[in-house]
Structure 1
Amino acid sequence: MSSAILKKNGYTWLLIISYSVDLITIFGKKKTFFQKILNFELAVFNFTKFYQNYLKILKIYKNVRLSRKVDFGRVDSQHYF
């Protein structure tokens, strides 16, 4: 049995490589567990990208609303004074 350390996306993964038939079947069962972890990691990554884009859109929306309030304020002040 040998092992290797893989660093990906700031996480350190320990990969165990085995050459025995019994250990390969156990490793195969654990592989689905690692796949679930990687799928969860991808889901979290996609959600954070979505949330960052949502915050960017919200910031743009707030800036547009604020700029419209300022523009309307200038128009009103010029109109009344």
Structure 2
Amino acid sequence: MADILYFGRLSDVTGTGAETLDIPVDITDTAALRRWLDDAKSANGAFLEASVRLAVNSEIVVDPHPVAPTDEIAFMPPVGGG
């Protein structure tokens, strides 16, 4: 099972900061994972925004990057501040 971490507004969208999920076997890269989670969480495109960065096993990656069922995957939207 994959550990999925949600930061910033994505934790609001999902209602949690982290969860463990069984990723379907046909989800083999970050681009497919984005689409699947966006649909599964009814996120209205929040996971698909290009500004949302991903880290797989603590390493920042660029789509499409391979994912495995046991990876830790973090979704990190841009941080705003004042």
Larger Rg: 1
Asked if Structure 1 and Structure 2 have the same fold, meaning a TM-score greater than 0.5 normalized by the shorter chain, the answer is no
Higher relative contact order (CA 8 A, sep 6+): 2
More helix by share: 1
